[in-house]
Homo-oligomer: A and B are copies of this chain.
């Protein structure tokens, strides 16, 4: 049997340097654990625009459709702010999500014990926090038509369309219920059903799907109240399911609350392929951080943990994923820190590749 295939898209800003560390880890799993991958690498975002005049070349898109999993660094940077909307770096990422039909975006918000002090929240509010936000990723106002800037009378009007079909809601709800079954069996669905009809349909469909998961305790919350409750006492949640736009804001807020932003991975999953594996793209939650790119300051852990998620969700290697996660915990516990996490007494500062070294040692 041939090796499973991985397409690596480092992207922009700190993407390439954090991805370089991930490649060393991938190699380690090949050498030491007999888990070899066919790795190819390509461009996305601003880097692809610079080379091809488009943030995602058709050939890259085709490759992404064929591989077992895609690993992405980050896209975007001020250099590309002047570009037309249609070729902005973000469009490359959005095209991948849409054409691979990666409808279920898993965003764990986890607080690493060693880092609880970095949170702006009180320690007891975040220590031990471990929640999962499931964000719908291929529909809603991100993709709905009509969209654009139009002339109307003597002025312009900007239009986007929030749009959800029953089946779109159904499938992401199912993936959230499945996750809840493997976790604390509590699911909270968030929308604005008090203001938006799309939210009414969302609530109805989620309630319907719940009948197939009688063990899961389902609740509903308006998204504004959800934002509040995340800030007040995030531990009340286990799994949260919400739409594309609410998920964007809520998962970012939740990630920041943990104080472990440079540590948080994400998985974007679609339907199973012929080989049974889901279409999948893995990426850190943090952005491309152009201000610190190329200085050895970036924290590669979120990207490494994204590979751990790939091991778990694409390659059924939960034990190997855990091995990697444990190694990272051990490194953090030993006081080794990249530049984003300095400030405490008695820690050992390392560069991006220094962190890679430490993780390899711990493995």
Contacts and interface: CB of A to CB of B under 8 A. Distances in A.
Interface string A179-208: 000000000000010111111111000000
Contact of A200 (B149, B165, B167, B248): B149
Given A197-B148, A227-B249, A162 B159 contact: yes
Contact of A195 (B142, B157, B162, B255): B142
Which of the listed residues A120, A163, A192, A202 has the most CB atoms from chain B within 10 Å of its own CB? A120
Given A197-B85, A197-B148, A227-B252, A232 B120 contact: yes
Given A120-B231, A253-B231, A158 B195 contact: no
Contact of A233 (B120, B149, B194): B120
A249 B246 contact: yes
A31 interface: no
Contact of A198 (B88, B142, B155, B158): B158
A176 B257 CA distance: 28
The secondary structure that dominates the A interface is helix
Given A194-B76, A197-B149, A253 B227 contact: yes
A158 B121 contact: no
Interface of A: 76, 85, 88, 90, 94, 120-122, 125, 141-142, 144, 147-149, 152, 155-167, 192, 194-202, 223-225, 227-233, 245-246, 248-250, 252-253, 255-257, 261, 287
25 contacts: A85-B200, A90-B194, A90-B195, A120-B121, A122-B122, A148-B197, A149-B201, A155-B165, A155-B167, A158-B162, A158-B198, A158-B199, A158-B202, A159-B161, A159-B162, A192-B248, A225-B252, A227-B250, A227-B252, A231-B231, A231-B253, A231-B256, A231-B257, A232-B256, A249-B249
